[in-house]
Amino acid sequence: MMIFHYLKFFLFHGVGLLSFASLMAGGHWISLGLLAVLAIYIGGDGLCGDDTTTPEFKRPKILTVQLWMALPLLALIVFAAVWSFSAVDVLGFGALVTDLTGYDVLAAREATSFGHHLSGVVLTGLMIGVIGTITGHELTHRTWDPISMLVGRWLLAFSFDTVFSIEHVYGHHRYVSTTEDPATAPRGRNVYHHVVASTLKGNASAWKIEKRRLSRKALSVWSWRNAMIRGHMMSALLVVCAFAMGGVPAALYFVACAVWGKALLEIVNYMEHYGMVRNPKTPVQPRHSWNTNKRISSWTMFNLTRHSHHHAQGEVPYQDLKPFPEAPMMISGYLTTIVIAMIPPLWHKLMTPKVLEWDRKYASDEERILAAQANAASGIPELMSANQDYPQQSTLAVSG
């Protein structure tokens, strides 16, 4: 059965190929493909329960190659998406697919309505977030591996977010769950506010980090050695490619997909650390991240779900992350929680009790003081009126 534990992570690639096929099929198939992906994640997490297995992988290189495969897969999906909105048959791709399958994708494209094209933007942006950002996140943590770093940064370029490889690794992991971290949402914040605030502050933080790095090497910040500048040029090249495929409409279509993919990252940041507090001088512990062990999210997102262990030990590869079922838990799996986060009244209704439970069960004495201050500033009546004189908290630490 060990082979199953390698194969389960290929479900990720299956979702990507499903998305590619629906984009090429055009028309109502695009919207049906989007609904199918949502059903796989939301329905799958709801029906399939948790995965708390911790197998020992003796061939980790296979799992790394699975990550690298995300780049050609994402490129294929985005190509299909931009092709679906172009007026010409780029590289004769549609004619080739028609010859191979017998399905007239060119006619299907011509018949695709604007509403189904909107579904295409949502689906492609979702794939940029899942296949691009999640895999790019894992790969750019491997700072010792130049191939993984290169693949990871190109994956992030699809969401205009190569700066994530700087700010996330060297900023977010240091300051997570503190007021100094742009990606940690304070209590009471609206998710839409967070998407904008985290994006702006994250870019500013990444620039400062890169500027310090270059200063230590006596290099100018305005040079090709600046990873932020190179990263934005990578994203610009992708926009140029989209323009070459179908002019301004195709370029704008890609930009819309990329911006939605970037927004998804910030929504995920929002729900992974919402309301957490920590003194930046104290070590990061599993209690400083919201965790989930939902099976489908875990298998199709390379264990991003095991976020508590990831933040406690950021260098651990995804396949070796532990489930930590005793950690503070999200509302549900990732896509379900994303949908809930996008409905602020529902989000606060469900998360306020969880935040108060975190104060009672997980916070240290010092963190309870920080929590009381955060509650007072939250603007949420239930938090503002909360009694912070809780019983002694439980402890949660990482061993090994």
pLDDT digits (tens, 9 = 90+) for 358-377: 999 999 999 999 999 999 99
The SS3 of residue 329 is strand
Average pLDDT on 71-90 reads 97
Q: DSSP characters for 187-252? A: TT--HHHHHHHHHHHHHHHHHHHHHHHHHHTT--SSSTT-HHHHHHHHHHHHHHHHHHHHHHHHHH
Give the pLDDT band (50/70/90) at residue 300: very high
Chain centre to alpha carbon of residue 374? 26
pLDDT digits (tens, 9 = 90+) for 216-251: 999 999 999 999 999 999 999 999 999 999 999 999
For residue 311, count other CB atoms closer than 10 A to its CB. 23
Question: Can you give the pLDDT at residue 387?
Answer: 57
Q: Could you read off the pLDDT of 164-223 as tens digits, one per residue?
A: 999 999 999 999 999 999 999 999 999 999 999 999 999 999 999 999 999 999 999 999
The answer for residues whose C-beta is within 8 angstroms of residue 43's C-beta and 6 or more apart is none
CA distance 166 to 152: 12
Token pair recorded at residue 224: 């090709």
Report the alpha-carbon distance of residue 365 to residue 279 in Å, rounded.
11
Separation of alpha carbons 162 and 312, rounded Å: 23
* Average pLDDT of the residues of the chain: 95
Residue 262 in tokens? 């970037």
**pLDDT tier, 1 (very low <50, low <70, confident <90, very high otherwise):** confident
